[in-house]
Amino acid sequence: MYLIDNYDVFVFDFDGTILDTESYHYLAWKTSIQSEYPTFDISENDYFRLIHNLDTTTFCHFLQKEHNINNYQELYIKKGLYYKKLLKENEIESIGNVEVFLDRLVHKKKKLIICTNSSITSIQYLVNKYPFLKKFNKIYTKEDFTKRKPDPECYQKISNEYKGLRLIGFEDSLVGTHALCQVPEITSFHIRPPNYYHNSEIEKYKIHVIDTYDVFA
């Protein structure tokens, strides 16, 4: 068991760490591409292999080289629209009993932070849809940084802003884990998605691996 009282500030990624939204990102990408290239197909496993590569150009290059798809930015915008549509049409499950965990943290007066590559518009929509997300004291989105994960800029900024406090961070993806582990002032935890393509690679990092937030006492 890990002790809640060993930390003052709890920093969470969002997709796959708080809400189970990762599969909706996959479906949104797949749908946006198929809207223009009907024969395109990709498995969820291959999608995560490519999109969560530490080389953030991997997915774009895959589309260009393997499928002769060269309008990545246009499709990225369309993907965002499909993603928001999926959020409205579906009830999203939470991860690892996180709602109960957040209640316990609030009761102990801990500071709660979200740090995500997602946009402010999609995050704000979900905050309004799921009231338990209002428990967070601060939400950092991609608009708050010049570089996206796996660059550690976001976590370094949080570490600097909460200097002198004991920080703990939670990630689920390879890119997020890489970013988090570059900032030693934050104790790093990986909440492991089942059957995630990069799980074995994440084990190479100096990080605590958990399957549920119930391991905290």
105-156 per-position pLDDT tens digit: 999 999 999 999 999 999 999 999 999 999 999 999 999 999 999 999 999 9
CATH of the domain at 14: 3.40.50.1000
Does residue 63 have a pLDDT over 90? yes
Q: Which residues of 105-121 are buried (b: 16+ CB within 10 A; e: fewer)?
A: beeeebbbbbbbbbeee
The residue among 89, 110, 128 that closes a domain is 89
pLDDT at 29 (0 to 100): 98
30 and 135 share one domain: no
Segment 16-43 shows an average pLDDT of: 97
23: pLDDT confidence band, cut at 50, 70 and 90? Answer: very high
Tell me how far CA of residue 140 lies from CA of 42, 102, 120, 148, 160, in angstroms. Answer: 31, 17, 8, 12, 14
11 and 44 share one domain: no
119 and 60 share one domain: no
pLDDT at 28 (0 to 100): 98
74 and 116 share one domain: no
Q: Is 161 helix (H, G, I), strand (E, B) or coil?
A: helix
59 and 11 share one domain: no
* pLDDT over 70, % of the chain: 100
110 and 196 share one domain: yes
pLDDT at 127 (0 to 100): 97
Task: Name the domain count of the chain.
Answer: 2
Residue 56, φ and ψ in degrees, nearest 5: -70, -5
Mean pLDDT of the chain: 97
pLDDT at 1 (0 to 100): 86
Does residue 3 have a pLDDT over 90? yes
Q: Give me the domain span that covers residue 164.
A: 4-20+94-215
Does residue 203 have a pLDDT over 90? no
The residue among 71, 89, 107 that closes a domain is 89
10 and 71 share one domain: no
62: pLDDT confidence band, cut at 50, 70 and 90? Answer: very high
137 and 76 share one domain: no
177 and 147 share one domain: yes
13 and 47 share one domain: no
Kindly report, residue by residue over 43-57, the tens digit of the pLDDT.
999 999 999 999 999
42 and 137 share one domain: no
The residue among 89, 116, 134 that closes a domain is 89
131 and 196 share one domain: yes
